[in-house]
Amino acid sequence: MIRILVDCLSNFYRTAVIENGELVELVIEEKEKDFSVGSIYAGVVKKILPSQFAFIDIGDSKNTFLYLIDGKEKNIFEYNDVKKQNELKIKCGQELIVQLVKEGTEEKCPVVSSMITFSGKYIVLLFNDRCVNVSKKISDEKERNKLIELGEKIVSKYSLDFGIIMRTDCVDVGEDIIFAEADALVEKYSEIIKKGTFYKAPFELYKAESETDRIIKDLMKSDTDEIIINESSVYDNFVNEYSNRGKVIFYNNPVPLFDNFFVEKQIEKALHNKIWLKSGGFIVIDYAEACIVIDVNSGKCSAKSHRQTVLNTNIEAAKEVAKQIRLKNLSGMIIIDFIDMKFSEDRKNVRGILENEVKKDRVGVTVVGMTELGLMQITRKKVRQPIFKILTCKCPACGGNGFIFNERFISEKIKNEICSVFSSTIYNKVVIHSNQKVIDAFKGKNDEYKIIEEKFGGEIVFDIVMTHKLDYYKLDKFKEN
């Protein structure tokens, strides 16, 4: 059973997806968000780096990126018969309708696309494209061919230039229902394009539905599902929209919603980098700038043979990795260092399990395969920030590095500075302000610091400071007769 909890009693909407009592997905979004993924804007081209990317102003404090190098932005290129190559049609200062496809971060700008997409329950329309595709989750070849034919009928019906993706939900659905949804999506697109001719850029032409709405649309498929909401206005909206597809419940209990369903503790656990497996093994997740690395360890796991121990641990780890990727909303390139498997059938077994598990993810995940070094590569589409970036901040002590200099290094650094002060300045007294550990390391077991006082004829005084920064120190210098 799938249960969706929507907590509205703060400045954020917190949406938790619970499967059989276990938290599998968490979405946190601002209530009053100015720029959200899927929204459409009339933007202004500010700067172009040919064949790389363009900067588009959509009204945000940061200009957005429009990637040109991957060749996906087909509608802003035209083929030059003379030069035998595609040339960019847009120029600086030109207005361009774009859709926000990726949120920005502190380090990176938001990403937009000129290829507008609209997603319905049964189909996705890709404007300025002519492809006809079927969801990868539909594996039956006859069903796929049938849906491709239907998609081609829909595309040929309209004069607009667009492609289509037939979604999983369109299986066994009448053609008239799918055509009706296509009509609604085409009409919506036409209205937005028309609106863009009347407003001066930068301007928001279409506000995308919230991530909470998208989750519910994707998951509300049976009568056994529940949506539990703790705010009356939001509850009323969902009752009107989804009551025919599941049970919508208003939560009016004094106990906080997430506490009552043991979600808060699961959120805290989701921020841990080390996750123990039931067998006694564990995985460790490390976040790097270019990729995410997940290391699998056997830990306390044991079986009748070494091969069985390795296989059991890797199988359990594959399931847990798929779950953690979805829960933590990890994306981009992900490298999994499974325990080395000597037999090819074991490697195929683990890969097959991983591929099956990632199919549960609403976001596109691709299992690339094993490298020559035995590292499993997978990629996951980037849409939102991972939850650790939303719920945590950089440590003020280490600045986000995860490490600080130890007391021995700091004490040696202080010694060098004091020697420089005594030998090169007029000062002959120094007060060291630092924590107890650093001061003890500086003094040494037998007050070795007095050697410095004797050598330079100076005086060293200590002031113990209570601070969370373990590498903190400050020197005050004085001249005394």
Q: Are residues 196 and 76 in the same domain?
A: yes
Would residue 428 count as lying in a domain? yes
How sure is the predictor about 242, in pLDDT bands with cuts at 50, 70 and 90? low
The chain-wide mean pLDDT, for the chain, equals 85
> What is the per-residue pLDDT for 480?
83
Domain boundary among 225, 247, 265: 265
Half-sphere exposure of 360 (CA within 13 A, CB side): 18
Report if residue 192 sits inside a domain.
Answer: yes
332-371, pLDDT tens digit by residue? 899 999 998 888 898 899 999 999 999 888 888 889 988 8
Question: Within this chain, do residues 167 and 255 fall inside the same structural domain, yes or no?
Answer: no
Candidate ranges 60-69, 325-334, 368-377; pick with highest mean pLDDT: 325-334
Position 303 pLDDT exceeds 70: no
| For range 60-65, the mean pLDDT | 83
Please indicate, yes or no, whether residues 54 and 187 belong to a single structural domain of this protein.
yes
Q: Does the structure show a pLDDT above 80 at 178?
A: yes
Q: Select the more confidently predicted residue: 297 or 288.
A: 297
Dihedral of alpha carbons 155, 160, 166, 172, sign = negative
Mention every residue, 6+ apart, whose C-beta is less than 8 A from residue 110.
35, 60, 62, 64, 65, 100, 102, 103, 104
Both 370 and 387 in one domain: the answer is: yes
Closest among 368, 270, 381 to 324, alpha carbons compared: 270
Query: Does this model's pTM top 0.85?
Result: no
Q: 13 falls in which pLDDT band (50, 70, 90)?
A: confident
Residue predicted with more confidence, 183 or 9: 183
The CATH number linked to 162 is 2.40.50.140
DSSP output for 266-286: HHHHHT-SEEE-TTS-EEEEE
Domain assignment of residue 223, given as a range? 2-34+210-265
In the chain, the amino acid numbered 143 is E
138 and 241 part of one domain: no
Residue for token digits 């938790």? 16
Q: At what angle do helices 306-328 and 263-270 cross, to 10 degrees?
A: 110
Domain-located, residue 396: no
Q: Residue 172 to residues 42, 178, 179, 421: CA-CA distances in angstroms? A: 38, 11, 14, 83
Residue 144 lies in a domain: yes
Alpha carbons 350 and 334: distance in angstroms, whole number: 16
8 A C-beta contact, residue 261 and residue 249 = no
Q: Looking at residue 402, what DSSP letter applies?
A: S
Is the pLDDT score of 224 beyond 60? no
Whether 188 and 119 share a structural domain: yes
Which letter, b or e, does each residue of 93-121 get, where b requires 16 or more Cβ atoms within 10 Å of its Cβ? eebbbbbbbbbbeeeebbbbbbbbbbbbb
Q: Which residue has the higher pLDDT, 343 or 304?
A: 343
Tell me, yes or no, whether 304 and 342 share the same domain. yes
* Choice between 244 and 376, residue whose per-residue pLDDT is larger: 376
Whether the pLDDT of residue 245 is over 90: the answer is no
Read off the pLDDT of residues 101-139 as tens digits, 9 standing for 90 and up: 887 777 778 888 888 888 888 889 888 887 888 888 788
Dist. CA 47–CA 40, nearest whole Å: 20
Q: How many domains does the chain have?
A: 4
In a domain, 276, yes or no: yes
Strand residues in 1-39 grouped as ranges (E): 2-7, 12-19, 22-30
Report the pLDDT value the prediction gives residue 404, as an integer from 0 to 100.
85
Whether 399 maps to a domain, the answer reads: no
Taking alpha carbons only, the member of 247, 369, 269 closest to residue 323 is 269
- Check which CATH number belongs to the domain holding 462 and give it: 3.40.1260.20
Does residue 197 sit in the same domain as residue 55? yes
pLDDT category at 241 given cuts 50, 70, 90 is low
Residue 219 has what pLDDT? Answer: 66
pLDDT for res 235: 80
Pick the closest to residue 477 from 411, 428, 410 (CA basis). 428
Regarding predicted confidence, which is higher, 397 or 156? 156
* Rounded Cα gap, residues 258 and 329, in angstroms: 19
User: Which one of 187, 206, 225 terminates a domain?
Assistant: 206
Residue 320 lies in a domain: yes
Task: Evaluate whether 100 touches 41 at the Cβ level (below 8 Å).
Answer: yes
Average pLDDT over residues 261-284: 89
* Cα–Cα distance list, 419 to 425, 460, 472, 479, 480 (Å): 10, 11, 19, 15, 17
Q: Read off the pLDDT band of 316 (50, 70, 90).
A: very high
Judge if 249 and 303 occupy the same domain.
no
- CA separation for the pair 202, 421 (Å, rounded): 58
State yes or no: cis peptide before 396, omega within 30 of 0: no
- Taking 60 as the threshold, does the pLDDT of residue 156 lie above it? yes
**Tens digits of residue pLDDT in 426-454:** 999 999 999 999 999 999 888 888 999 99
In the prediction, which pLDDT does 432 show?
95
Average pLDDT value for residue range 158-183:
86
State the Rg of the chain over Cα.
Answer: 29
Tell me if 401 is assigned to some domain: no
Domain co-membership, 380 together with 435: no
User: Is the same domain home to 25 and 80?
Assistant: no
| Dist CA 335 CA 353 (whole Å) | 16
Which range is least confidently modeled, 52-61, 403-412, 431-440?
A: 52-61
Mean pLDDT calculated for residue range 203-207: 88
Residue from 388, 335, 387, 385 nearest 17 by CA:
387
Q: Looking at the DSSP assignment, which residues form a beta bridge with residue 173?
A: none
Query: What pLDDT shows up at residue 324?
Result: 93
CA distance 175 to 177: 5
Mean pLDDT to the nearest integer, 239-247: 66
Same domain, 238 and 324: no
Percent of the chain with pLDDT over 70: 95
Identify the domain boundary among 391, 419, 436: 391
More confident residue, 416 or 91: 416
